[in-house]
Amino acid sequence: MNEQVKQEVDKIDISRGQVRSQLLAGVERARRPRFTGRKVATGLVAAALLLTVGGGKLLGETPPATEIVRTDGAVVVPNWAQDEQVEDSSTAGSMLPGLVYKQELYLAMETPLTDDVRTLQGERLERVTATLEETGDDVIENASNLGPVTLYRVDGYKPSVRLFAVGEEEGRKKVWLLERQTGFTVTTGNDFFKDLHLDQSVKHFAYQTFDEWNDAETARPVTVDRPYRAFLNALYQSDAMIREEVPKEVADYMHPDTMKVLRVTQADGITVSLRLIAGGYVVYPQLDVFFKVDPVAFKEMWEAL
């Protein structure tokens, strides 16, 4: 890929999936089932890129679908069924491995599938064989772009939070750890983060700079046990805000010296990433919501990275 194009892709904030990693990895998307319908999850089409590798140009971005909004004092991330239909928006879905389960969208997590993580595969839920596509105004209940998969619980988590999907890719067994992306109503950090069990013990911490955020192998170990506890408490108590409510420099945070990434590998082996944004905000990559954190706890955590 043209180096200039690669640099431009690095700057793009893709908050709900790994569009960039799919592009750079050169996945043979034509061999996979795709999102072929018009409806895509909130915010996904904003990340869709029309890329011509040979010409080395980013041709454009598709406008976002239904916006994350503030309603009755809470931040509302619409569910899949509430999303607006956007013409020509299938590009985003074709890049993102995921599925719809009980009318909510789940996408593959970035966490490495270590032996510890794989042991979390729990009770079998159901088989999903439908390809994720839609025509007209039909509502999708269960379907995927992973091919036929069997869904399992993730021990310790509700199925409405995370799922395992087990299927095949190029004739070999393939396991995906998926996380729900849609259908949230949050007022504070506790409303969202409590279901991720961030308060469990931690195996190790790592951090990344802006220039490294899209490559997990660049994460460097760091010891932040003491500031993390205060920071986590502040995160649980933080106020949820939509993009339009934060300062412009916060909303447009994908710049050097503006973002640091804290990667937390929990006791169960799952690694979560928290984006710390200069000014006292935290963004969870899978949720395009800003959490305003106590400035003292945030500053101590920021300076420790």
pLDDT digits (tens, 9 = 90+) for 138-194: 556 788 889 999 999 999 999 999 999 999 999 999 999 999 999 999 999 999 999
pLDDT tens profile 129-142: 988 764 334 556 78
Instruction: Give residue 288's pLDDT.
Output: 86
Parts of the chain with a pLDDT under 70: 1-66, 81-95, 133-140, 214, 216
Domain chopping of the chain, boundaries: 3-184, 187-304
- Entry pTM: 0.75
Distance CA 234, CA 199 (A): 12
Architecture of the domain made up of 187-304: Sandwich (2.60)
Residue 302 CA to residue 227 CA, distance in Å, equals: 9
- 8-33: burial string, b at 16+ Cβ within 10 Å, e else: ebbebbbbbbbbbbbbbeeeeeeeeb
Q: Which two tokens stand for residue 72?
A: 């009755």
All residues at 6 or more sequence positions from 55 whose CB lies less than 8 Å from its CB, including other chains = none
